Amino acid sequence: MLDLHTHHKRCGHAYGDLEDYVQEAILRGLPILGVTDHSPYFYSHENHPYKQLAMSITEFDVYMEEAVRLKRTYQGQIEVLIGVESDIFKEHIQLYGEMYAKYPIDYVIGSIHFVSPSGIMESLDFNTASEEQKQQEALRYVEIMKAGIDSGWVQIIGHMDGFKRGYPAFTGLLAPYVDELLKRMAARGVALEINTSGIQHACKEWYPSFDVIERARFHSVPVTFGSDAHHPDRLTTDWEKVRDTLMLVGYRQVVYFRQRKPFLMDL
Ligand SMILES: [Zn+2]
Ligand SMILES: [Zn+2]
């Protein structure tokens, strides 16, 4: 058992300190816990532009120092992996890669929350958009994901079909591109995350959907698990079901990363 996707109060919309997650993970018997709070908006001229979405730029140093300290403190009880859930912005791929190269990061989860920095304030509303707008947005999403897969600094693609969170039919918009994306991930050694947080939202299912997990197996894409917990109580949500599902489609191992290098854990 492991959980590679967790947040804490620094991002402004999660609960608990980093140490609360580490202690909860020890209580639950996890051998490995990844801490991956949201990346700051590194491209911004302001230190803390969206206080409810992510930590400030200057806070990133403090986050890293605290994670390193906890890794040492709890060594022997649990392995704390130091990560970040990074936004992928096509226009800032290089900048983000340069930032992460400066820190002792075990792995980066690359996720798309917005299709561009300007999209943070003006996201497309899929529920009222035209068919053409939706198709265009899906295509942009795919292009950003490709840039993330090719970036060299993304080890795991987070919530691959994440836009279904508020618009379940996004699954259908993404479907024509899934094989192409998975093949690209397999070729680059980029892992697919099974993220169970979607059950709390309109889509009411994991990211990605079952069909995508099956296709990932077909293309031999490495997989891993993340609860995307924003509260310590949510750690490892649905882990047993995910393990059974992965076994069902033919997986026998999940992947995790130390200093950006892949390691396998038996299911
Ligand atoms: Zn969050
Ligand atoms: Zn996310």
pLDDT of 123 over the 90 cut: no
Average pLDDT over residues 173-190: 98
Query: For the whole model, what pTM was predicted?
Result: 0.98
What's the domain range around 163? 2-266
Structure tokens of 106?
A: 């075990």
| Ligand nearest to C-alpha 37 | 1
pLDDT in tens, 6-24: 999 999 999 999 999 999 9
Q: How far is the CA of 37 from the centre of ligand 1 (A)?
A: 8
| Ligand nearest to C-alpha 195 | 2
Convert 215-247 to b/e letters by CB count within 10 Å (16 or more is b).
bbbebebbbbbbbbbbbbebbbbbbeebbebbe
Average pLDDT over residues 164-186: 97
Which pLDDT belongs to residue 73? 98
pLDDT of 146 over the 90 cut: yes
Which pLDDT belongs to residue 259? 98
Residue type, 89: F
pLDDT of 56 over the 90 cut: yes
DSSP class of residue 37? Answer: P
| Ligand nearest to C-alpha 161 | 2
Q: How far is the CA of 218 from the centre of ligand 1 (A)?
A: 30
In total, how many domains does the chain have? 1
- CATH number of domain containing 120: 3.20.20.140
Q: How far is the CA of 116 from the centre of ligand 1 (A)?
A: 17
Q: How far apart are CA 68 and CA 259, in angstroms?
A: 13
pLDDT of 111 over the 90 cut: yes
